[in-house]
Amino acid sequence: MSNQGAVTLGPQTEAIITVTIGATVPTGFEHTAADEVKEKIGVEARISRDRGRIYFQITTDQLFQVHLLRSVDNLFVVVDEYEHYQFKDTKEETLLDLQQLASKLPWTNALEVWKLNNSLKKKRSRRKGGNGTKVKPDSEAMDAGMAEAEQQQPPQPLSSESQAKEESTPELETIAQEPEESAPEAKLIKFRVTCSRAGDKHSFSSNEAARDFGGAVQEFFQWKADMTKFDIEVLLNIHNQEVVIGIALTEESLHRRTITHFGPTTLRSTLCYGMLRLCKPQASDIILDPMCGTGAIPLEGALEFHNSFYIAGDNNDMAVSRTLNNICHIQKRREDKGSVPGLRIDTVQWDLCHLPVRTSSVDIIVTDMPFGKRMGSKKKNWDLYPSCLREMARVCRPGSGKAVLLTQDKKCFSKALSRMGGLWRKLHTVWVNVGGLHAAVYLLKRTGAMFGQTPEDVHEPQGMANTPEDEK
């Protein structure tokens, strides 16, 4: 047995080492995350062939900066990676190979980073008043991993349930070996192994890979397995022939850092950041979210792009209330840290199709439109989307105004956009995964046409927009 098993939770060495950090990001926004890493840490990030992941090298004195990135969900330090791992022909040989791999890996630097990361978390906990970070439950770990592991292709929407049944789609299993009876030790390290697998040419399941690899890790380090109260989470990521072994640095996804009052369709803060970065907010820009829900988009903007001014609105009084509560929570947290508590954000309850906003007074519109599933309906969207785009065009500045709109109802949106061709021009589309649904983020540019001087300005009576059934 190697002496690497003697891992302690005590003080760390001060030697600066270079390691590779892996980060899961919202699928579709990998390039956005890579740009942020370059901008804030000064290193180039490599985008993985496995969608929703990036990798970049840092020195350990930059670890604190990594936790401040706004575009990443979960972080891990890479133990080792294999671009073209040669899997054996049979399942038995492959699993035996994975067992033997555990004792050959260069664990030392990754474990040093894990210990340093623990000390940073303790310092943050003390600043927050001594409340330690809660360990994420196993089910939550699986959900978070599932969202990142799913391989999305734009044309074919699949439910997360049907994806789980497909052998060619990613699987995620968290396996803990049965703890063995042993004498009490001073501080016994507890661990678990989480395996994420994508590809249809593997002879094994992610469950089997996690079980056998986890057993070998336990034997090598003499750690104790624990599914929920673990100290170390070992990650085994397999994407076709690419294999990456890592140690998790986040217990809970970083996308939860902003929102405390959640609604039925609250967006992840990391996705909000990606949408905002698409439109490149400038100082003094007026940015509008006419369907703010819990306020996730304007809150992320007010915190990161704080030289702009944000107006959040919704027609639902519960949504407005949640937004106000989230704003108050952030302001209180900033005040406790000694920062200026005020945020450049206002909240209004309004009718989306009759906004109490002056014509041509808004620079940017960023919003999450109803998918027609948990909120609204597909049928209502055929009336809502054209009216929504028309009203957005009215308040947006001609020639320079932009809109970044998220929707899963792509057919309805494309039809509505084609009818508003004189007012909006599509610049770019980003395909994203939102809770297992294939969705799209559209970047639109406001044309130079003055509102009131194009055929698109004629407001059709409610219910007059043709649905697909009407056209048939």
Question: What are the pLDDT digits (tens) for 194-226?
Answer: 999 988 889 999 999 999 999 999 999 999 999
Least confident of 56-65, 93-102, 122-131: 122-131
Residue 375 pLDDT:
54
Residue 3 pLDDT:
45
Per-residue pLDDT of 143-167, as tens digits, reads 433 333 343 334 444 443 344 334 4
Residue 413 pLDDT:
93
Averaged pLDDT for residues 277-291: 96
Mean pLDDT of the chain: 82
Averaged pLDDT for residues 300-313: 95
Tokens coding 205: 């399941």
Instruction: Enumerate the domain spans of the chain.
Output: 18-121+189-248, 269-446
Per-residue pLDDT of 368-406, as tens digits, reads 998 655 555 567 788 889 999 999 999 999 999 999 999
In the chain, the percentage of residues whose pLDDT exceeds 70 is 78
Q: What is the CATH code for 18-121+189-248?
A: 3.30.2130.30
Residue 349 pLDDT:
96
Residue 377 pLDDT:
59
Residue 372 pLDDT:
57
Averaged pLDDT for residues 272-296: 95
Residue 164 pLDDT:
38
Averaged pLDDT for residues 175-180: 48
Q: Is the pLDDT of residue 39 over 70?
A: yes
- Write out the chain in H/E/C secondary structure: CCHHHCCCCCCCCCCCCEEEEEEECCCCCHHHHHHHHHHHCCCCEEECCCCCEEEEEEEHHHHHHHCCCCCCCEEEEEEEEECCCCCCCCHHHHHHHHHHHHCCCCCHHHHHHHHHHHHHHHHHHHHCCCCCCCCCCHHHHHHHHHHHHCCCCCCCCCCHHHHHHCCCCCEEEEECCCCCCCCCCCCCCEEEEEEEEECCCCCCCHHHHHHHHHHHHHHHHCCEECCCCCCEEEEEEEECCEEEEEEECCCCCHHHCCCCCCCCCCCCHHHHHHHHHHCCCCCCCEEEECCCCCCHHHHHHHHHCCCCEEEEEECCHHHHHHHHHHHHHHHHHHHHCCCCCCCCEEEEECECCECCCCCCCECEEEEECCCCCCCCCHHHHHHHHHHHHHHHHHHECCCCCEEEEEECCHHHHHHHHHHCCCCEEEEEEEEEEECCEEEEEEEEEECCCCCCCCHHHCCCCCCCCCCHHHHC
Least confident of 1-5, 236-240, 448-452: 1-5
Residue 356 pLDDT:
96
Say whether 269-446 and 18-121+189-248 share the same fold. Answer: no
Per-residue pLDDT of 100-137, as tens digits, reads 999 999 999 999 999 999 988 776 655 555 444 444 44
Residue 199 pLDDT:
85
Q: Which residues pair with 446 in a beta bridge?
A: 424
Tell whether the torsion through CA atoms of 269, 131, 227 and 263 is positive or negative.
negative
Choosing among 3.90.1150.10, 3.40.50.150, 3.40.50.300, 3.40.50.620, the CATH entry for 269-446 is: 3.40.50.150
What does pTM read for this prediction?
A: 0.79
Tokens coding 297: 């988009």
